[in-house]
Amino acid sequence: MNRKVLVISSSFRTKGNSARLAEEFMKGAVEAGNDVEFISLHDKKIGFCRGCLVCQKTNRCMIHDHADMIREKMLHADVLVFATPVYYSGISGQLKTLLDRCNPLYDSDYQFRDVYLLFAAAEDSEEAEKRTLDCFDGWVVCYERARLNGYVFCGGVNDVGDIEGNQKLQEAYQMGKSI
């Protein structure tokens, strides 16, 4: 089935470990016949949510920056995939800022149902994995018609390239291919 898949990477290292997970996921999703679009946050300007709640009345954020374009693409995607490095047992600040700015999607007729998370960390522990998942899932559960459909966590990778040869790349590829 041809689905619109939007992959958003929040790594500032374009060839970093979480970005590599995203590449493999995309390769599988494309091979499965899906329409895949990739957005990297490394060069995007996204301001912090101001908590004004104007978006709940207008379905638009009062701040106009790259979050506008990304949010619009999210609205029309069937599948959302987020790739992030883990910072202090949580998603990156770049990704958290984007998710906060997605509040206008909450009451919209968003199309996405399946959400995936790809994340890599220097720490290789169940605790780091669980804390990151809990943080991310806190966003997903706000969207009643969406669900966290899967994730790939790769711990023990810190420097660019550490992930090469790791079975988690194959897991990300297979997950993308299964869409």
Residue 9 CA to residue 50 CA, distance in Å, equals 23
* Domains of the chain with bracketed CATH: 4-177 (3.40.50.360)
Mean pLDDT of 134-159: 95
**pLDDT more than 90, % of the chain:** 90
Per-chain mean pLDDT for the chain:
95
Q: Is the pLDDT of residue 88 over 90?
A: no
Structure tokens at 131: 């804390």
* pLDDT reported for residue 113: 96
Q: Is the pLDDT of residue 1 over 80?
A: no
| pTM of full prediction above 0.85 | yes
* pLDDT reported for residue 145: 95
* pLDDT reported for residue 125: 87
Q: Is the pLDDT of residue 14 over 90?
A: no
- Residue tagged 């999210």 (tokens): 74
Mean pLDDT of 120-147: 94
* pLDDT reported for residue 59: 86
Mean pLDDT of 55-74: 94
Residue 33 CA to residue 35 CA, distance in Å, equals 7
Burial class from Cβ neighbours inside 10 Å (0-12, 13-18, 19+) for residue 165 reads exposed
